[in-house]
Structure 1
Amino acid sequence: MKPTLLILAAGMASRYGSMKQIDGFGPNGETIIDYSIYDAIKAGFGKVVFIIKEEFVENFKSIFDAKLQGKIETDYVFQNFDLKQFGIEEEIYREKPWGTAHAILSGRKVIKEPFCVINADDFYGFDAYKKMVAFLNEEATDSNFSIIGYQIGKTLSDFGAVSRGVCKVDGNGNLEEIVERTKIYQDGDAIVYEEYDTKHPLAYETPVSMNFWGFTPAVFKVTEDLFREFALANKDKPKAEFFIPLIGENLVKSNTAAFKVVPTSNQWFGVTYKEDKPFVQASIDQLIKDGAYPEKLWS
């Protein structure tokens, strides 16, 4: 059974100012998701599942259904605020969705095979999909997961600070620790992150998570248990977010599962800020000129 691609596309994109998940970046209006799915099909994925807000389902279907028909199986699931499905009867007020780790729970009823998770607004490059398919087909077990590790120096924005899960890797290439740093940026010739108004340096090659994770369906039960604890512990913090790295950190520290950090030297790019768009468009144009993609992606 071929692995599944789970795309996180329910975010609010507050810094970007519009629905960047379906904004056009390619020469024929292709979204970043189009390039992700193109690479995933080429690498050997058999299904794509979109996690979206229910009110946007017709938008997504109008963009993707026709072009993907006959190329890859598609499905849509919705991230919502209903806590009763997790056995939480208490009403908890939220200003925004619960975060990426909560989002992947939306796929638990339709995914029965090894799968990977990506962000809708991140361009990862074919190498990452190829390596992830190899891992999911050959190495993934219910206690052996993976994460694609990007070099921090190849994941920054020129227009503001970014959040990254900074990885510490052991001698066997497995994740030892992952810490979400919410303010990383270029500071002169150095790369730094800020914590409590203090700057800390990061080496250019430091591996970071760009939310490209490989799992088996066993992760859903673990995540559901962790989310229930997180939601109740943070019921008075309406902006607290349940990030995927929290799953990794918990499983690693409890010795429940290992995470192989699969390195890639690919250049990542994405659209955190509106000002990132021209760079993304130019990067895609260059990849087309280099022969990585056809000018018309879905012919």
Structure 2
Amino acid sequence: MTGTNAAADAAAGRRAGSGASSGASSAAAAEKAQTAVTDWCPEYRAQLVLPPGERPVPATAVLDPVWLADRVTESGRRYRTADERVAAVLWWYSASTVLVTPALVTYVVTRHAVDPRPEATTMHMRPDGLPSGARSAAAISDDVSEVGSLLGVALASYISALAEVAPVRPRAAWAVAVDSVAGVLLRAGTTVAETPHATALAGELVAAAAEHLGEKLPLPRYVDVAGTRFVRRASCCLIYRAPGQAMCTSCPGRRPEEREADLARFARRFGGR
């Protein structure tokens, strides 16, 4: 479900009390919020519901250096690169989006967030070692400061683990993570016709995460091109350093005029001005 119909249905659900009642358990509230998302926006089933042929893996596995090193090795084979940094960043680029999706999408669509921390999260793992989706087993406060703080705690734990098994600078991993937050929120806002609200939320959540962690984090940024909003990325996924691969359309490493021209073509192709 997309556009104004999705927004109207989501708003109706909020007014009807899509969050937890005072006596409901945290797990029941999380289940209710995620089910509401997939009911109102079926395109999120692929990210929130375990697909056939994939297996559930606790997100705490990412904190296991042996398990995570194996994922980096698989990423290197997938992209045919022996560069551990490239392999690790490419894996994190995909995984970070998956890991923040349940909390951010439920927060935008239902206004009730689920817990993003690894102990509450189960990933859906493809046979090739990439996560395709995730689901949370707990609900948290709807306060933006708490949601942002717990998001920061979760991302900090994953980034620390990644830096232990591969030569990835934490600041570079944070740039990827913040771009993932920005992208997930942009998609969620677009889906329910609440783009301004969702993209404004990105800055609030990252600011709350930075304050809680006591760190200076990159800020999520957006750019409007030909009537369509895009993430103005601060990070590079490094895919162009793998054999046979090119830079992404929105890569910050491209010349600005070339990047904007390609984004404008993309926007016009998919309904922009």
TM-score range normalised by the length of the shorter chain = under 0.3
